[in-house]
Amino acid sequence: MDKHPHRKLLSRFGLGKLHRRGNREIVRHLLEDCEECRQVTSRYLPKLEYGTAFEAAQREVESRQAQLVAERVDAGELLRELLAQPFERQEILVTQEGSHYCTWGFCELLLDAAREWGFQDPARAIELARIGVEVAERLDAGAYGRTRVRDLAARAWGILGNAQRIRDDFRTAEKSFAQAELRLREGTGDPLEKAQIQLFKASHFGNQQRFREAFRLLDRVVAVGRRCGDPHLWGKALIMRGFLLGLANDPEAAIRHLSEGLQKVDSASDPRLVVAAQHNLTLYLAESGRYGEALRLLESARPLYRQVGDQMSLLRLRWLEGKIASALGHYRESEELLRGVQKELIERELGYDAALLSLDLATIYARDGRSAEMRRLAEEMLPIFKSQDIHREAFAALFVFQKAAEMERVTLGLIRDVTGYLKESRATWSQRSRQAR
């Protein structure tokens, strides 16, 4: 727009036919009290006293803000009340006509809770996110604005898809992300809401080893972070790229991106993200043989693990400590740590993670020449993983490992091969599920 809005733009503004950005630009210009524009607008627009009009608009904004604050105050008690009910009852309560759970403030709190549970108990996170979707889809568009409601529904579907991704339900997660993108197209076009969905999808693609698609999405998120002056968002995209580069077996590039991302993010506003980034940075330093740096970073990050406090973060800390202890030759200490983590992963029905951790234990036994323990480990693994989320081809790889253990022919090379195959087959299986839709 030039110094003064064009007359055609003013005419469309007066008729209510101008797009959202154009409306903002004209309103901003009118607020500058330009005498020339006052004369022009008088020809196209109804006679208004702008001060009175904007005072009324300000009162409306303040009223809406007060309503949202009140909803957020009530939301905590409503959430406790809802979660005390069985899941089936929860769905009935939020979907009944006139439900007092169907407020913006409650929906935001519910979605925040779903994201938190995603790191501790993915099954619980899915339940909460599903209820969040129900609430978001039922919000009063007249009270909150149709496009803003669609934005919130997009966020809800994205959080649901992310929880499903964490549980390795890639086919269902992809459907949820498609719903999120549909709601975004119906919403305000907020680039920050869109960027969050793109971060979720980048994680999803990375788990499937669709790295080119994931990195393309992350490039868009970086561009939004730069354009909006949001270094935290920019840092999140760099950290995500670091995670995925680690999955792509490029630990040095992963270390660079994680380090750069940690410098940009606001640790106070998102300590969980910082814990995850520092955890992976420590892991890749250790895998690169930089044990001194890894141990120093782990020690400096330990208070933040405790501050975040969720069980999955603490569980992964112990797993990492066990891996480093094994690499340094402290086998007894490592075995004790890893055995405890293995038990909890199995209880949480995280079969792939439990399988990978069992192979870390096998590495200890192979290095320490402990054939009897290797055989017992192999015997334990197959019955456990028959009931877990291990698909047929990955199960076959574990069967090969078991037979090699029985014949006392397990080598470090075989363990590396089986570990690599498990990681690759997880992504391959998810891709096949996607193609079978």
Q: Which residue, among 296, 294, 277, has the nearest Cα to 239 in the 3D structure?
A: 277
Burial of 23 (0-12, 13-18, 19+ CB in 10 A): middle
Determine if residue 16 is left, alpha or beta; phi over 0 gives left, psi from -120 to 50 gives alpha, anything else beta.
left
Average pLDDT over residues 368-372: 89
Distance CA 68, CA 74 (A): 10
Minimum mean pLDDT range among 21-30, 239-248, 320-329, 370-379: 21-30
CA torsion through residues 166, 171, 176, 178, sign = positive
Three-class secondary structure of residue 211 per DSSP: helix
CA torsion through residues 223, 229, 235, 236, sign = negative
Per-residue model confidence as pLDDT tens digits over 141-186: 988 889 999 999 999 999 999 999 988 788 899 999 999 999 999 9
The answer on pLDDT for 389 being more than 80 is no
* Helix, strand, coil fractions of the chain, as percent rounded to 5: 80, 0, 20
What pLDDT score was predicted for residue 429?
A: 45
What pLDDT score was predicted for residue 39?
A: 61
Minimum mean pLDDT range among 20-34, 65-79, 148-162, 376-390: 20-34
Per-residue model confidence as pLDDT tens digits over 186-212: 999 899 999 999 999 999 999 888 999
**Residue 123 has which token pair?**
């099954």
Per-residue model confidence as pLDDT tens digits over 92-114: 888 886 678 888 888 988 998 89
What pLDDT score was predicted for residue 105?
A: 87
Average pLDDT over residues 358-372: 91
Per-residue model confidence as pLDDT tens digits over 298-312: 888 888 888 887 778
Which are the contacts of 76, defined by CB distance < 8 A and separation ≥ 6?
109
pTM for the structure as a whole: 0.70
CB crowding 95-124: b at 16 or more within 10 Å, else e: eeeeeebbbbbbbbbbbebbbbbbbbbbeb
What are the angstrom distances between the C-alpha of 233 and each of 21, 223, 266?
Answer: 22, 10, 9
